Chains A and B, each alone.
Chain A
Amino acid sequence: MTNFGLIDGSIIGVYLLVTMVAGVAVRKYVGSVDTFLVAGREVKLYLGIASLAATEFGIVTCMYTAENGYKFGFAGAIPGVLFALAYFFVGWTGFCIKPMREAGVMTLPEFFEKRFGTRIRWLSGVVIILSGLLNMGVYLRMGGDFLIAVTGMSSSGYQLEIMMTILLIAVCTYTIMGGMLSVLVTDFLQFAVMSAGLLIATAVVVYKTGWSNMVETVDKHYGVGGFNPFVNADLGLSYVLFNGLVVTACVLTAQPVIQRVLAAKDVKTGRQVFTRTSVFFVCRFVIPGLWGIGALAALGSEAAGGESLKAMPQYLGTILPMGLMGILVAAMLAADMSTDSSYMLAYGSVIYNDILAPFRRKGITERQGILWNRMIVAALGLFFLFYGLWYPLKGPLWTYLTVTATICFSSMMTLLVACCYWKRANEWGAAAAIILGAIVPVSYLVMEQLPATAGFAKAIGPNWSGIATFIATALAMVVGSYLKPERRMRVSEGSST
């Protein structure tokens, strides 16, 4: 039984109404594809920070970071520290993002075209979309699971489906109408609501559970490994290394992230958005991690029928009083809506700008371009609705997300670094990196399923397999680029300029 009541429902209703009105109201400013996808590159620093922070924190984030706290203790928050270091380093040095923003492109594949040609642009677009859709496909289900557990709704019947469909329709409506402008304005509102909810809920969790009780619980269940990720039996050096690579690749190549830099007013603003948001990424893991530890202390290690993912929402549902529950649910809805809208727009921009580019007729008007983008966002919304609500997730959520993301991140990071800083890089190397970046993780997933190779796959583990993918793509880029004769390279360079 949870404490969800009428006051909570009213708070959520008011929040949803204000978001919808604000999101739809800015549609009148959308006059070009550039405005629809990157807000006319008018995003200033603090709006950029609010938007990036809101986008990168959804219910799904809250679920897997809390699960990390529940399963690994404080050590489970180590990806947050790695994220912060990566954001700060990239923002401070301008590594890759400076040349990308200066190129004035709208997407990563568009940037690749300048060095590797149109085929690599198209192929990169396909890889980004496949990986992105697999990754984002589970977001809606996770959001629904959280809301059901925290509000105490029945999971039988169609309550989850109906609730998530209404939420997705609301998000699609303002994203379709206002594009990036609606995303930014609603992200801003969502950042404020989400932050208030996170801070209040954390204060309640620490107050009710007690800090020393939380520390003792972690010590009792996980010992030193609950604090030090390097000695944790389930994490270790390979986990830290692999996550270091994944988060760096995410910072550099995830389209929803770099879209903030590409929409920024100038290069300096884009870099500042990264450096000043970096601390937020520690909070992103530590705050829900504390909720997960609170759940472990209060409910034990077999909570929610052994489903570690649902322990945290079940725990919050019992400790938050009426009124605060509404603020928390509104905060989580805010987090989810900002993530969904930004991701749909970001992937929609890759589909329109890069995958459909060869098939679009020339001389398309701005109005037609906007219509195309709106239809793509609507189609993505439909995909997420059906895939997201029916896909059964197995295993830890963070592992699923990192494995599916590696397919794209490993090759895209290699291509980006080579594109920016290695003159010898060419399309042969780029194609080889993309192919290897997909083959290694997919082979690992297949080996896991086959009885003859399952033992070997287990011995390697997802972390070393992921690290191998990053090394393989980098080697493929070098070997592929050197295999292309220099004479042909000069000819293709000459024809592209």
Chain B
Amino acid sequence: MKSIWLWFWIITAIGCYAWYAIATVYIAARGATDIRGMLAHLRKESESSRQK
């Protein structure tokens, strides 16, 4: 029983580390685009509300 749990934690730990390393780079790149898009949209909205 111990060996099943030990393997579970080994796989979980390695999987977490690998996933986290890859996800950090990917999310950092895509997140920056999201921020630019969000701020551009809010800028447009505030300009159009000022014109009204």
Please provide the chain B residues from 1 to 52 with a CB less than 8 Å away from any CB of chain A in the complex: 1-2, 5-6, 8-9, 12-13, 16-17, 19-21, 23-24, 26-28, 30-35, 37-39, 41-43, 45-46, 49
* In contact, B20 and A47 (Cβ under 8 angstroms): no
Please provide the chain A residues from 222 to 255 with a CB less than 8 Å away from any CB of chain B in the complex: 224, 227-228
A118 interface residue (CB < 8 Å to B): no
Q: Which residue of A lies closest to B7 (CB)?
A: A227
Contacts of B34 in A (CB 8 A): 43-48
* In contact, A26 and B31 (Cβ under 8 angstroms): no
B interface footprint on A254-292 (CB within 8 Å = 1, 0 otherwise): 000000000000000000000000011011001100100
* In contact, A29 and B46 (Cβ under 8 angstroms): yes
Contacts of A198 in B (CB 8 A): 20
**Which residue of A43, A49, A188, A279 is within 8 Å of B19 (Cβ)?**
A279
* In contact, A199 and B46 (Cβ under 8 angstroms): no
Contacts of A49 in B (CB 8 A): 27, 31
* In contact, B17 and A202 (Cβ under 8 angstroms): yes
* In contact, B49 and A283 (Cβ under 8 angstroms): no
A123 interface residue (CB < 8 Å to B): no
Main secondary structure of the interface of A (DSSP, over half): helix
* In contact, A29 and B39 (Cβ under 8 angstroms): yes
A74 interface residue (CB < 8 Å to B): yes
A108 interface residue (CB < 8 Å to B): no
Contacts of B21 in A (CB 8 A): 199
Q: Which residue of B lies closest to A31 (CB)?
A: B46
Say whether, besides A42-B41, A199-B24, A228-B1, A279 and B16 are in contact (CB < 8 Å).
yes
Say whether, besides A26-B39, A199-B21, A283 and B27 are in contact (CB < 8 Å).
no
* In contact, A227 and B28 (Cβ under 8 angstroms): no
Q: Which residue of B lies closest to A26 (CB)?
A: B39
A192 interface residue (CB < 8 Å to B): yes
Contacts of A282 in B (CB 8 A): 12, 16
Q: Which residue of B lies closest to A284 (CB)?
A: B16
A227–B1 CA distance with the chains assembled, in angstroms: 9
A49–B34 CA distance with the chains assembled, in angstroms: 11
Q: What is the CB-to-nearest-CB distance from B38 to chain A, in angstroms, rounded to a whole number?
A: 5
A397 interface residue (CB < 8 Å to B): no
* In contact, A29 and B6 (Cβ under 8 angstroms): no
Contacts of A199 in B (CB 8 A): 17, 20-21, 24
* In contact, A192 and B16 (Cβ under 8 angstroms): no
* In contact, B20 and A228 (Cβ under 8 angstroms): no
* In contact, A188 and B35 (Cβ under 8 angstroms): yes
A192–B13 CA distance with the chains assembled, in angstroms: 20
Contacts of A279 in B (CB 8 A): 16, 19, 23
Contacts of B5 in A (CB 8 A): 74-75, 224, 227-228
B interface footprint on A449-480 (CB within 8 Å = 1, 0 otherwise): 00000000000000000000000000000000
A224–B4 CA distance with the chains assembled, in angstroms: 11
A85 interface residue (CB < 8 Å to B): no
A49–B12 CA distance with the chains assembled, in angstroms: 21
Q: What is the CB-to-nearest-CB distance from A226 to chain B, in angstroms, rounded to a whole number?
A: 9
Q: Which residue of A lies closest to B46 (CB)?
A: A31
Q: What is the CB-to-nearest-CB distance from B34 to chain A, in angstroms, rounded to a whole number?
A: 4
Q: Which residue of B lies closest to A188 (CB)?
A: B31
Q: What is the CB-to-nearest-CB distance from A68 to chain B, in angstroms, rounded to a whole number?
A: 13
Say whether, besides A227-B6, A227-B9, A50 and B27 are in contact (CB < 8 Å).
yes
Contacts of B27 in A (CB 8 A): 46, 49-50, 53, 191
Say whether, besides A192-B28, A195-B20, A215-B6, A42 and B42 are in contact (CB < 8 Å).
yes
Residues in chain A within 8 A of chain B (CB atoms): 26, 29, 31, 35, 39-40, 42-50, 53, 74-75, 77, 81, 181, 184-185, 188, 191-192, 195-196, 198-199, 202, 215, 224, 227-228, 279-280, 282-283, 286-287, 290
CB pairs A–B below 8 angstroms (9 shown)? A26-B39, A42-B42, A44-B34, A50-B28, A184-B35, A196-B24, A227-B9, A279-B16, A283-B17
Residues in chain B within 8 A of chain A (CB atoms): 1-2, 5-6, 8-9, 12-13, 16-17, 19-21, 23-24, 26-28, 30-35, 37-39, 41-43, 45-46, 49
Q: A53-B27, A282-B12 are in contact. List 4 more A-B contacts (CB 8 A).
A: A39-B38, A40-B41, A77-B12, A198-B20
